[in-house]
Amino acid sequence: MQIVSRVCTLSAIILIVFVTCNLAAAADLTAEEYYNQGIDFAGLRQYTDAITSYDNATMINPGYSKAWYNRGIALFNLGRYDDAVASYDNATRFDPGYSDAWVNRGVTLGILDRYDDAIASYDKAIKINPDDPDAWYNRGNAFLYLDRYDDAIASYDRALTIYPGYTSAQQNREMALSQINKNLSSPTGTMLQQPSPTMTLPPLNQQPTMKVPLFFAPIGAIALMVVFFAWRWKN
């Protein structure tokens, strides 16, 4: 009877270890899964939680430019503009051709009154994607704030050529015309207030998959067999 009792106790311990290890393994998500989790939190406007998820993604994959980009958006929405710029810096460092990140970086720099830096960022975006009306429009806004009206008008013209229905670009172009040789008050058009993450949304099937290492499967099977034979022996 003592042998049976010891065998049952050992089996119970093995089962506990098996379940614990599987639960711990299930808690480990991939960088992509953490990224998708961040997208979900951002969709619920839970930006702090989104940032935590993006942080986990970039810890696993430091070069995950989409995670850095969307982390910048979350920080932007929290008003943490310097931190947002740093995230966009990482996004463009790992993916220099990430035109949306250059645009959003420029928008954030503009909010920080760093208009020359913002223009340089828009120029990077335009070099990558010359047909991005938002890049031209926001470039025009930066020139407008610097009282460089001719340059602003030229940028608005490019935005309107690409997208003739760009109302804000038309309004700010008219303001630039009216402000030539006058003092600038403030552009009436709307800057790109919330950079959109729509281009980086994950696939529709974004449920994290719980992964259990195959190593633990034989342990579970052995434990169940020990319990079974112990039960048969006792009876």
Please give the backbone phi and psi of residue 78, each rounded to the nearest 5 degrees, phi first: -90, 0
Long-range contacts of 206-215 (CB under 8 A, 24+ apart): 206/36, 206/39, 206/40, 208/29, 208/33, 208/36, 208/37, 209/33, 210/25, 210/26, 211/25, 211/26, 211/28, 212/22, 212/25, 212/26, 213/21, 213/25
Which CATH number applies to 30-210? 1.25.40.10
The whole-model pTM stands at 0.70
Integer Cα distance of 139 and 135 in angstroms: 6
Q: What pLDDT digit, counting tens, does each position of 106-125 carry?
A: 999 999 999 999 999 999 99
Which residues have a Cβ under 8 Å from the Cβ of 217 and sit 6 or more positions away?
none
Q: In the prediction, which pLDDT does 31 show?
A: 96
pLDDT at 226: 47
Q: Splitting the chain (235 residues) into consecutive groups of 10 residues, what average pLDDT does each group show?
A: 51 45 57 96 96 98 97 96 98 97 96 96 97 96 94 97 95 91 54 35 28 36 47 54
pLDDT recorded at residue 210? 28
